[in-house]
Amino acid sequence: MGSQDHAEKGNLKTMKLSGAEIFVECLKREKVDTIFGYPGGVLLNIYDVLHQQRDIRHILTKHEQGAVHAADGYARASGKPGVVLVTSGPGATNTVTGIATAFMDSIPLVIFTGQVPMSMIGNDAFQEADIVGITRPCTKHNYLVSHVSKLASTIKEAFHIATHGRPGPVLIDLPKDVTVNQTDFKYPARVELKGFKPNYEGNLQQIKRALQAIKKAERPLLFTGGGVILSNAANELRKLARKTNIPVTSSLMGLGAFPGDHPLFLGMLGMHGTYAANMSIQNTDLIIAVGARFDDRVTGRIESFAPKAGIVHFDIDPTSIKKNIRVDIPVVGDCANVLKQMNRLLAAERGIPWKKKHADWLAQIDAWRKAYPMTYPERKGKIAPQYVVEQIHKLTKGEAIITTEVGQNQMWAAQFFRFKHPRQFLSSGGLGTMGYGFPAAIGAQFACPDKVVFDIAGDGSIQMNIQELATAVQHRLPVNVAILDNRFLGMVRQWQQLFYECRYSSTCLHSGPDFVRLAEAYGAVGLRITEKEDVPDAIREAIATKNTVLLDFIIDREANVMPMVPAGASIDEMMLDDGKGKKSLPKKQADKITG
Amino acid sequence: MRHTISVLVENKFGVLARVAGLFSGRGFNIETLNVAPTLDPAFSQMTIVTSGDDRILEQITKQLNKLINVIKVTDYAGDITYLNRELVLIKVTAKSEHRAEALRITDIFRAKVVDSGPTHYTIEVTGNPAKISGVIEMLRPLGIKSIVRTGPVAMARER
Ligand SMILES: Cc1ncc(C[n+]2csc(CCOP(=O)(O)OP(=O)(O)O)c2C)c(N)n1
Ligand SMILES: [Mg+2]
């Protein structure tokens, strides 16, 4: 290809390149090293150019949904945007669940979809789908590139939008003729968008007000969300909490922002939150919410959430503030910047006895902790799923990257793995997408080749993207899948047990498959574990094995996720143990512990 | 409460769908929507009449602002004084004894007859919402055959 020869001589400014070549050049400029995708007719030109270069590796997944989740896992683990390339029509529509998953959790992705040629759009051409229309409500922004001359600037904008402000997925639809036609290539140095100017710096007056509120508070509580991780604010958060001695609770998405084994950490709050976290929310006089959006899984019945608290809310997205809950002191800005400013102000404050200031409050929290610690029942001859998670934690020294599927497996992972670092826990929090965890683990392993990666999976969810075993094996990825195999759609079964009198309608998965033989069929290692004493060795073997390993833990079938706040209840109305009936804590008893 | 919101947007493919999709997707209500290019054809001005409590209105303006193609959102509330005008075409039955009445009403409201036939007049009225509903109420007894409304357009008054 003539134009490519010139390109290699580095004289790109004046040379004509095809759209396909421009695509690849732009990705290089964005320092993209890995993309996940699946080819098809309208992408032949792009794939041909990809084949003739070495800077960008293309990972062929086995399903386009897998490609998007893998790019998402790559993005969450690395902090860089994930990139996806899929063909038109069915290739494009197969990405929708992955895009919606990333959108709900604010993950920066750039998704390229092939499209039929411009002249055929609207004619119901072969493999035509209006993917821009379909994904409008589940992307941060999207584009149809109508002419090759607009391609480079559109790609530049897309990366900018995906990674600035509150991150999110951006989709670019590429008609085939745009990939074929040629134009002068020039990559814009910067992006100027009139309608997109996120506010990074928090208003200093507001931050000062927040500081006053913290100084005044007797029972303050930090509540961290995914925004802390997205903005790389964990260090500033840790500084703030340690300096002020304020206890920390977290949403699912915020896990890892604060060390899971720190004495100030209360664990997750909400529907499956710890007793101490939920009681603290109900009794605190000041919540400092950082990068959280007060999802209904966190708040329970909104009218009775945090009845005694003033609320300080730091978030980069103004729409998150006062969407679900009243806010007394809003600060719109990047969490890391706002926390940094707060820490600077704090450093200048002298004479506040932070260590003693909330001693009573911390003692109260300890009483809650001791009254109902995170324990679980173990039945003779059965493997408790929580034990498996604890062992993975222990044997990876708490350092593994953990992805999850959705359901009980996800909650057990969140409750019993004490995350040390941000970007260590990758889970579909907002959309709750079964089938997320395994491809996300693959993406994370590509981003962090030296880390141990485990997908903590359910036997239902894993089957939604199990075909990616072929991808993992092909690349000799040492990813591990730990199926907490209850032969049930366990979380749904749990609700049926508790609220539908054990009528297990369509939740029983007794028919298999044999996961061990399935793993072997793909060329992975499969191990079945049926005895508790074999759990640690199996995990050790998985960690030591260079190949992809699938561990099929046959767990106590009807183990439940506890504590649990029934949907629509107040978050202090917790069921606390794994009984067969509803054993909620009587209100009076709760009051007594509250003191 | 009913609110009139002006939205300055980039005049690009699909922007109307984004705005409309935002309202439908989040369960916000659109009573009327008017859109046309500004003096600079690269931009369009939308006027949207919507309703909701304060919390919803705050979300509507914030969510609109969040759209990449939206440049500016003005909620005509509080102490912003603004002009609010709508154009309406009303085809009214006007037979023998009613013809004079129809013309009198047209005159009173400083409206215009823009089309007429042996049994009808088509009347063009421009005005604020109060005036428009006034005309409609006056003409209704004569028999309104059909009516077309642009929805209001709004502009802040110069201080
Ligand atoms: C794609 C998708 N479909 C349906 C659901 C609803 N759902 C939530 S949890 C769950 C059960 C998951 O079963 P499994 O993967 O075996 O996990 P377990 O709860 O047993 O650990 C279902 C069906 C969902 N979250 N995602
Ligand atoms: Mg299961």
In the prediction, which pLDDT does B77 show?
Answer: 84
Give the max Cα distance, chain B: 57
What are A297-349's pLDDT values in tens digits? Answer: 999 999 999 999 999 999 999 999 999 999 999 999 999 999 999 999 999 99
Are the Cβ atoms of A196 and B62 closer than 8 angstroms? Answer: no
B80 pLDDT band (50/70/90 cuts)? confident
Q: Distance of alpha carbon A200 from its chain centroid, rounded?
A: 22
**Residue A527 — left, alpha, or beta (φ > 0 → left; ψ -120 to 50 → alpha)?**
beta
Residues 189-208 of A with CB under 8 A from B: 193-196
A578 pLDDT band (50/70/90 cuts)? low
Residue B69: list chain A partners with CB under 8 A.
195
d(CA B22, CA B15): 11
Segment A143-164 mean pLDDT? 98
A472 pLDDT band (50/70/90 cuts)? very high
**Residue A94 — left, alpha, or beta (φ > 0 → left; ψ -120 to 50 → alpha)?**
alpha
Are the Cβ atoms of B68 and A136 closer than 8 angstroms? Answer: no
Q: In the 3-class helix/strand/coil scheme, how is A342-354 assigned residue by residue? A: HHHHHHHCCCCCH
Residue A146 in this model has a pLDDT that exceeds 50: yes
Q: Distance of alpha carbon A483 from its chain centroid, rounded?
A: 19
Q: Judge whether A294 and A322 are in contact, CB under 8 Å.
A: no
In the prediction, which pLDDT does A585 show?
Answer: 52
| AA letter at A52 | Q
d(CA A35, CA A40): 16
Rounded to the nearest angstrom, the distance between the alpha carbon of A389 and the centre of ligand 2 is 15
Nearest CA to ligand 1 atom 4: A434
Segment A551-558 mean pLDDT? 97
In the prediction, which pLDDT does A580 show?
Answer: 41
Residue B36 in this model has a pLDDT that exceeds 70: yes
Are the Cβ atoms of B59 and A323 closer than 8 angstroms? Answer: yes
In the prediction, which pLDDT does A512 show?
Answer: 84
In the prediction, which pLDDT does A579 show?
Answer: 53
A552, β-bridge pairs:
A483, A528
Stated pTM of the model: 0.95
CB-closest option in A132, A133, A195 to B68: A195
What are A397-415's pLDDT values in tens digits? Answer: 999 999 999 999 999 999 9
Residue A6 in this model has a pLDDT that exceeds 80: no
d(CA A159, CA A27): 10
In the prediction, which pLDDT does A14 show?
Answer: 61
B86, β-bridge pairs:
B127
In the prediction, which pLDDT does A583 show?
Answer: 46
Residues 458-487 of A with CB under 8 A from B: none
In the prediction, which pLDDT does A594 show?
Answer: 42
SS3 label, residue A29: helix
What are A12-61's pLDDT values in tens digits? Answer: 456 799 999 999 999 999 999 999 999 999 999 999 999 999 999 999 99
DSSP 8-class letter at B75: E
Q: Count the neighbouring beta carbons within 10 Å of the beta carbon of residue B83.
A: 12
Q: Pick from B76, B83, B70: which is nearest to B8 by CA? A: B70
Q: Distance of alpha carbon B1 from its chain centroid, rounded?
A: 17
Q: Kindly list the strands in the beta sheet with A549-554, ordered across the sheet, starting from the edge strand earlier in the chain.
A: A425-426, A401-404, A453-458, A480-485, A549-554, A525-529
Which two tokens mark B35?
A: 């859109």
Q: Pick from A408, A521, A512: which is nearest to A456 by CA? A: A408
Is A271 an active-site residue?
Answer: no
Where does residue A148 rank: exposed (0-12), middle (13-18), buried (19+ CB within 10 A)? buried
Provide CB contacts within 8 A for B156, sequence distance 6+: B6, B74, B76, B80, B81, B82, B83
Are the Cβ atoms of B66 and A317 closer than 8 angstroms? Answer: yes
Provide CB contacts within 8 A for A21, sequence distance 6+: A1, A3, A4, A7, A49, A185
In the prediction, which pLDDT does A13 show?
Answer: 53
Q: Judge whether A174 and A142 are in contact, CB under 8 Å.
A: no
Mean residue pLDDT across chain B: 95
Mean residue pLDDT across chain A: 94
Q: Judge whether A336 and A236 are in contact, CB under 8 Å.
A: yes
The distance of B2 to chain A (nearest Cα, Å) reads: 20
Q: Distance of alpha carbon A323 from its chain centroid, rounded?
A: 21
Q: Is 0.95 exceeded by the ipTM?
A: no
Which two tokens mark B159?
A: 């201080």
Please pick, among A271, A434, A491, A574, the residue that the annotation labels catalytic: A491
SS3 label, residue A109: strand
Q: In the 3-class helix/strand/coil scheme, how is A541-584 assigned residue by residue? A: HHHHCCCCEEEEEEECCCCCCCCECCCCCECCCCECCCCCCCCE
d(CA A109, CA A158): 9
Radius of gyration of the CA atoms of chain A, in A = 25
Is A64 an active-site residue?
Answer: yes
Which two tokens mark B61?
A: 């303006």
Q: Count the neighbouring beta carbons within 10 Å of the beta carbon of residue B75.
A: 18
Q: Judge whether B102 and B57 are in contact, CB under 8 Å.
A: no
DSSP 8-class letter at A376: -
Segment A131-156 mean pLDDT? 98
B124, β-bridge pairs:
B89, B112
